[in-house]
Structure 1
C-alpha cells in the first residue's frame, strides 16, 4: 500500500478526526477563557486559575483519546473497557495509599469555584483541637497557607477547609495594613 492509497482509503477518518480535534480545541479555548474570566472576576490567584485550566485540559485530552479510538478508528468498546479497567485497577491500588492527596486536590477544585474567602482575608477556623485565627496568604492545590498573629505559617489541608466552620473576621486584612508578622 502506497502512501497515496493509504490517505485515499482513510480520507474520511482523517477529516472526521480533524473536525473532532478542531472542535475540542475550540471547546478548550472557550473553557479556558471562561475559567480565566471567572478567576479574575472572583479575585482568585492566577496560579489557582492555571491549575484548574490544566485539570480541564487533561480531561479534554482523555475525552479526545476516547472519542478518537472508539468512534472514529473503530476500536471495540470491550477492548477499551479492558484497557481502562486495567489502568484504573492499577491506579486504584496506587492511589488508595494517597487518597488524602486526591481529597485535597478535589477540595482545591471545589474551593476554586465556590469558596467565599480570598487571599488576604482574616479568618477563624473553629476546630476544637486546634482553633486558628489567621490571614490567608495563599491557596494552593493541596493546602492553604495561613499566617498566624504571632508570625508562624500554618499549612492547612484543603479538605479540612471545606469540612470546618470558618468565620470571616476581616476582608482583605493585608490591604487594610494589618501586620501579619
Structure 2
C-alpha cells in the first residue's frame, strides 16, 4: 500500500487537485473582494463562481487524465472530435460564446447595475427599462408597462446605453413633434 502512494501519478494527481482547489478559491476570493469594491450583487457573484469553476476543474480533469497516461492517441482523437462538434455548434450559434464573454465584461467593467433605469439606443427597437437581473447569457429588463424583456448581453455592449436614473427619457429621444421646423 505504501508503494502505491509513492507513485508519481498519485503524487501529481493529489498535487493537481490541491493546486486547483487553491487556485479556484483564490480566484473566487479575489472576485469577491473586487465585487465588494464595485458593489455587485450576490447573484452575479454566484454566476462568476460557477463559470470559473467549470473552466478550472475541466482543465484539472484533463491534466489528471494525461498524468495517468490513458491512451493519449485515442484521448486526443476523442478530444479533437469533441472540440470539432462544439466548434461547429458555437459557429452555428456564435452568440452563446459572445454572451458569456459579454457577461464577464459587464460584471467587472460596465457602469450600470441591477436596479438602474436604462435606455438602449436601437433604431429598430429602442428600449427604456429597469435592469432586473444580469444573467450569464442575457439581461432581464422590466419596462414601465411591466413587460419583462430578455436582452442578450452582447447586444448591451454593441448598442448605445444611457443610464437614466430617475428620468423617464433620454436626451437622445428626439421625436418629430419636438423638432422646430420654423427656419
**Pairing 1:12–2:8 present:** yes
Moved more, 121-130 or 11-20: 11-20
Aligned-partner Cα distance in 1 for 2:75–2:111: 41
Aligned-partner Cα distance in 1 for 2:83–2:3: 35
Q: Report the equivalent of 1:27.
A: 23
The 5-angstrom pairing of residues 94-133 of structure 1 reads: 94-133=89-128
Moved more, 76-85 or 100-109: 76-85
**Pairing 1:42–2:42 present:** no
How far residue 88 of structure 1 moved from its aligned partner, in angstroms, is 0.8
Residue 141 of structure 2: SS of its match in structure 1?
A: strand
Residue 8 of structure 2: SS of its match in structure 1?
A: helix
Q: Report the equivalent of 2:59.
A: 63
Which residue of 142, 145, 148 corresponds with 1:147?
Answer: 142
Aligned residues: 166
Aligned-partner Cα distance in 2 for 1:100–1:16: 38
Aligned-partner Cα distance in 2 for 1:91–1:6: 41
TM-score (norm. length: structure 2): 0.79
Which residue of 152, 166, 170 corresponds with 2:161?
Answer: 166
74 and 95 in structure 1: CA distance in 2 versus 1, 3 angstrom threshold: same
Aligned-partner Cα distance in 2 for 1:39–1:128: 34
Root mean square deviation, CA, Å: 2.3
Residue 166 of structure 1: SS of its match in structure 2?
A: strand
**Structure 1: gaps of 5 or more residues:** 174-181
Aligned-partner Cα distance in 2 for 1:91–1:31: 26
**Structure 2: gaps of 5 or more residues:** 167-183
TM-score (norm. length: structure 1): 0.79
